[in-house]
Amino acid sequence: MRQPSSLAGAARRFTLAHAVSSLALAGLALGCNSSNGTPGGSGNDAGQDHGGTQTQDTGSNPGACPARPDLPAAAPMCTTLANTAQAVQFTALAGTAPTPAGGAIQDGYYVATSTGSYGATSGTGRRLTFVITESATRMFWSGDVLAANDGGVATSFRADTAISVSGTRITFTPSCVSTTPSPLPPALDFTVSGQELFLSLANGATVAETRYTRMGCAP
């Protein structure tokens, strides 16, 4: 089983992935403050895979989510999506990062439920919500990256981005981001495990990862 996981410039992008994962989201994907190296690695070859059944909940499936034309908004707001996630603090993760496994990404409403890093002992927390829609081709983000020292809000942002999935990687093409520079990294590795979506970003010897739990369709 996977251990529980716990986004300016290039540092902000790596912080999100550590959002994402630190979006992956400011020091989202979404990086780890103590990490070294170049963001955007493809993950680690060793370790365990995420368990669980990978399923698709889009298209004509009974559980498919309806279209949400109310979610886009003009800049700088970018989206009307409310952030309903609870704050989750950084956790240092032991062992070797599992290899990203990919899977069928479900449309739906997700909140961050843990964030952390393999190979780092400190990093930022998360309070992030996103919606995946249009058969897993678009994401709306709303939330906060939390400061490593006191858990206060380091960065707040909203985003509307197209996404494309290839293998175990999600690539982002934002059309609207509320902050400059964007806290979203160019891409994140991912693993689907049941109703959980793990987004990760490799940076040298460290892998930042945030777990998002699907709460159904967007409220």
- Give tens-digit pLDDT for 104-115: 999 999 999 999
Q: For position 64, what pLDDT does the model report?
A: 80
Task: Give Cα 109 to chain centroid, integer Å.
Answer: 13
Whether the pLDDT of residue 202 is over 50: the answer is: yes
Q: Is residue 62 scored above 50 in pLDDT?
A: no
Q: Name which residue leads in pLDDT, 61 or 37.
A: 61
pTM of the predicted structure, to 2 decimals: 0.76
Residue with tokens 């858990």: 151
Does 210 reside within a domain?
Answer: yes
The CATH number for 15's domain is: 2.40.128.50
Looking from the CA of 174 toward its CB, the CA atoms found within 13 Å total 24
Stretch 160-184: mean pLDDT, rounded?
A: 96
Report whether pLDDT(116) > 50. Answer: yes
Out of 34-43, 44-53, 79-88, 132-141, least confident range: 34-43
Lowest-confidence segment of 10-14, 73-77, 124-128, 173-177 by average pLDDT: 10-14
> Is 56 part of any domain?
no
What does the pLDDT read at residue 20?
A: 44
What pLDDT is attached to residue 219?
73
- Banded model confidence at residue 149, pLDDT cuts 50, 70, 90: confident
Using CA atoms, how far apart are residues 38 and 191, in angstroms rounded to an integer?
Answer: 22
Torsions phi, psi of 197, nearest 5? -120, 115
pLDDT band, residue 50 (cuts 50/70/90): low
By percentage, how much of the chain surpasses pLDDT 70? Answer: 71
Instruction: Confirm whether 60 is domain-assigned.
Output: no
Determine the average pLDDT of the residues in 46-73.
Answer: 59
**Over the chain, what is the mean pLDDT?**
79
- Does the pLDDT at position 140 exceed 90? yes
Number of domains into which the chain is organized: 1
Burial of 52 (C-beta count, 10 Å sphere; 0-12/13-18/19+): middle
Domain membership of residue 28 as a residue range: 10-36+70-214
Residue 139 lies in a domain: yes
Residue 5 covered by a domain: no
